[in-house]
Amino acid sequence: MTSDVVIVGSGIGGLAAAIAAAEYGLRAVVIERARRVGGSTSHSYGGVWVANNDVARANGIADSREAAMQYMEYVGGGQTDPARVSAFIDAAPRALAFYQRAGIQLELTPSLRDHFYGTAEGAIADGRHFDVAPFSGASLGPWRSRLETPDGDGWRTPLGRHFSTQAEARERDELAQGAGLIAYALRCALDRGVEVLLETAAEKLIVRNGRVLGVRTADGRELIGERGVVLASGGFESDTTLSQMSENLPECRSVHSSAIAGDGLRMAAEAGAAIRIIHNNLAVLLGYDEPALPAERNIRVIANKELVAPHGIVVNRAGERFGNEGSFQNFAAALRVFDGRTRQSRNLPCWLVFDRQFVTRSGFGLAGPGTLPDWVVRGGTIGELARRIGISADQLAATVARFNTFVESGEDRDFGRVGKAWSLAQLTGVGPNPGLGTVELPPFYAVPLVTTAMGASGLAADPAARVLDWWDEPLPGLYAVGNAAAHDEYGVGYQAGQSLSSAMTFALLAVESIAAG
């Protein structure tokens, strides 16, 4: 089968590339190894972060390229490639307008400030975060049942603005957030004659005379992309080896499907592509093993839920706090601290320790306020709890006592935890407002936490999304967008919406490069 462009992966990077290819008059085929369309995008909040955009400007919001670049300087944490940052910031507003024109109804998410508003220069309080209006599932026709969607109905309503209740949205089969974004993009791609092949896994790149010319699939087909191949196959979070190498966390678990296992990276590396490690990636979240979730992704992330709720703290095996629980980025860095004397991680394993007030107010687990699963470790005293989880009772008691004095004074003098962390939870109605609260009313509880990362390392790519070889020369015909490429446009991160925005932006740039070539 011959096309102009073969696109590997049907997350937003792949579908955006397909739409752009069609707009440029190129024949595109999208292949997806899963049974459904959407990849990791379908399971995301669907935020698309675009600084210095026309929509905000039309709404009277002041923003500028300079402010955006300043903000990226902070977000990047020294792990960026300046040319890629510029390409991203310069092209994202154009990409937003391009995909809006194509039919993806992206709207400003109201009042969603930048993550680091108040901390970083160039952050603004409103006007950079987009997500889609509700999409009517029926308009996908037969493709509706081939759309990857999350469990429950929380994903059916847009962030921070009211269209319907979750029940109404379910009734009308309205799709929003990540799955909604995919639905719009899929509709746009299909309308333009893009072919989407499900259950089609790319296995090897076809290289002829030094040029990438297509992919061979696991079932032995050769799909030729005469003008190029775009890898939009996601990252490698479900591959233990790649994840360990990239994240430098002792045991980093995946919340992605098992398909997110570095296929694109391996295929490209075999063809001579270089990889790039983003060090100190701060997109590391804490969660716990939730027995009620499907085995494949049974980590329930609580980074902006229970972790930031009052009346709880996180302690390491020494029984000490080690970071600001209210800010997962601050926490992420502390999770990597390695003890040169003991030669082990200083702060992993770690536990969320909380009391009865926490349960009453927030609850722990899937069931909400007032509830607590049976398996949670408990103790009548702090000492008893400490013994049950195998840490020093005296030290844990001292840590809790000290923390309680901070609650009284309203100031966390050790780590600066504050009452209002940035939290999507506030917008989506999940969980209470974060804050400080004492840990003093028995019984006391402990839950062992696990880490999960949204990987930032990947294939080295240039500002046109061309995959680079080990001498920083483009590999002819090969492009990488989204999580398949190293995120050296935002470095250590993590700002909500930049991952999807990057995927869409570099998809457009890749296709422009293909069309020009």
Site residues (CB under 8 A) for another protein? 74, 77-78, 119, 244-245, 248, 265-266, 269-272, 274-277, 279-280, 282, 323-324, 327, 329-334, 336-341, 343, 416, 460, 469-472, 492
Sequence-separated (6 or more) residues with CB below 8 Å from residue 491: 75, 76, 77, 78, 79, 80, 278, 456
The first and second tokens of residue 31, run together, are 């292949």
Name the minimum Å distance from CB 356 to another protein.
31
Nearer to another protein, 106 or 475 (CB): 475
Name the minimum Å distance from CB 272 to another protein.
5
Name the minimum Å distance from CB 210 to another protein.
11
Name the minimum Å distance from CB 4 to another protein.
27
Tell me the sheet residues that pair with 287: 301, 450
Give Dmax (Cα) for the chain: 71
Nearer to another protein, 164 or 330 (CB): 330
293, 43 contact by CB (below 8 A): no
Name the minimum Å distance from CB 467 to another protein.
12
Name the minimum Å distance from CB 332 to another protein.
6
- Look up tokens 């592509």; give the residue: 273
478, 268 contact by CB (below 8 A): yes
Nearer to another protein, 146 or 279 (CB): 279
Give the start-end residues of each E strand in 363-491.
377-379, 444-453, 458-459, 466-468, 474-480
Nearer to another protein, 55 or 252 (CB): 252
Nearer to another protein, 118 or 429 (CB): 118
Q: To 5 degrees, how large is the angle CA 111–CA 113–CA 119?
A: 150
The first and second tokens of residue 87, run together, are 């390409």
Sign of CA dihedral 324, 329, 331, 334: negative
d(CA 67, CA 71): 6
Nearest to 172 by CA among 181, 163, 162, 184: 163
Nearer to another protein, 19 or 460 (CB): 460
d(CA 460, CA 486): 6
Name the minimum Å distance from CB 242 to another protein.
9
d(CA 296, CA 205): 28
Name the minimum Å distance from CB 343 to another protein.
7
Nearer to another protein, 77 or 134 (CB): 77
Nearer to another protein, 68 or 91 (CB): 68
